Copies of this chain bind each other. A is one copy, B any other.
Amino acid sequence: MNKTYFTPGPTELYPNAKKDLSDALDKKIFSLNHRSIEFMEIFKNTVSSLKTLMNIPENYHVFFLSSATECMDRIIQNCTVKNTFHFANGAFADRFYKTAVELGRNAVKSEVDYGSSFNFDDIKIDNDPEVICITQNETSTGVAIDVQNIYDLKIKYPDSIIAVDIVTSAPYVNIDFSKIDCAFFSVQKGFGLPAGLGVLILNDRCLQKAEKLKSDGIKIGSYHNFISLLENELMYQTTETPNMPGIYLLGKVCEQLNEKGISEIRKETEEKSDMLYNFFNTHRSFTLFVKNTENRSKTIIVIETGSRQVEVKKLLSDNGIIVGSGYGKFKTEQIRIANFPMHKKEDVLKIINTLKHLD
């Protein structure tokens, strides 16, 4: 039986991915020079379709990197020299923190238990951070942060750059980019593409900071420093030969998602997440990991299965559905179900019907 992947990513591919890839191969698009007019048009189309889909302001820049992990690295290198602050409520927020530490920054973090969110009123940020890093949707725990809390950070800490991890909430998340400074995602999550492309969206403030650091003699990296990325982006190019299939396919997926319309995608996402949360919340054998309903991610649903995890995963797999395990220390006692645009309502129903008779 062909399986459907409800894993947090890599996940089920967008249905058209195979056809899009096949068309591109027939047209020999991946044999083109990455500085050719033809490939510049592809670059331009991808940026433009993504900006339309996610309502990214025209004056924001889009840089193509190789992973979300690389995005974290480049933000720290290009926008900080001393201090960073991190909201740490999961493994990916910790990865951002660890990146800053590895790069020698004075990184301070505010931690909460996995599965919880922050009490933003109580958090004092007093290390004068150049960047405040926040994970809007924690893939490891299924906690989502209300974007209003993120906008408030920008108002409260106007001197800090606000960097937002939207790895597993894009394109669903309705974020006003003008109220943050940069955000990033990778394409193997909500965009349903093969892994290998990270996308960094940023404003001029981030670029100005990179320029300032450079002019102060601070090292901001080599080929993927923001200045080099910008110079190339302005020509619809990348510094190095990039992941051309990734850039091409992202444009195609964005076109198709735009045809459907982001409002419809958001509506469907919420319908499916309601179905899943309602089902697991009332099921006799399961509990939801995120206790506070307001903190529950619409795109990553985490369920405590305890000792029955293997059984649950097997039952679903026997019925053609692959879900993710818990992350890190929760690996054997939780499952994680992704709810991305390519995930169909009928398959969500299949999950529910498969598990509803479980004692």
Contacts and interface: CB of A to CB of B under 8 A. Distances in A.
A102 B221 contact: yes
Q: Is the interface of A mostly helix, strand, loop or mixed?
A: loop
Contacts of A13: 25, 28, 30-31
23 contacts: A9-B241, A10-B32, A10-B244, A11-B31, A18-B22, A31-B322, A33-B324, A34-B195, A66-B67, A66-B70, A66-B196, A68-B240, A69-B240, A70-B224, A95-B223, A102-B219, A103-B221, A188-B241, A195-B242, A195-B243, A196-B196, A196-B243, A196-B245
A73 B77 CA distance: 14
A239 to B, nearest CB: 7
Contacts of A141: none
Q: Which of A22, A98, A225, A243 has the most CB of B within 10 A?
A: A243
Contact of A17 (B25, B34, B225, B243): B25
Nearest to A243: B196
B18 A219 contact: no
Contacts of A32: 10
A246 interface: yes
Contacts of A22: 18, 22
A323 to B, nearest CB: 11
A267 to B, nearest CB: 25
A94 to B, nearest CB: 12
Contact of A186 (B99, B188, B241, B324): B241
A282 interface: no
A3 B28 contact: yes
A12 interface: yes
A148 interface: no
Contacts of A219: 102-104
Q: What is the oligomeric copy number?
A: 2
User: Which 4 A-B pairs have CB atoms at the shortest separation, nearest pair first?
Assistant: A196-B243, A66-B66, A69-B240, A30-B194
Nearest to A95: B223
Given A98-B222, A242-B196, A34 B21 contact: no
Contact of A10 (B30, B68, B73, B102): B30
A25 B30 contact: no
A221 B69 CA distance: 12
Given A10-B31, A69-B239, A243-B66, A102 B195 contact: no
A82 to B, nearest CB: 14
Given A31-B7, A33-B10, A195-B34, A103 B222 contact: yes
Interface residues of A, number: 56
A324 B103 CA distance: 40
A72 B5 CA distance: 36
A59 interface: no
Interface in A197-223: 197, 219, 221-223
Given A10-B30, A10-B32, A194-B244, A69 B3 contact: no
Nearest to A187: B241
Given A17-B25, A73-B222, A67 B30 contact: no
Given A10-B244, A66-B66, 11 more contacts: A5-B28, A13-B25, A66-B67, A67-B240, A72-B222, A73-B222, A98-B222, A102-B223, A103-B221, A103-B222, A196-B196
B244 A196 contact: yes
A307 interface: no
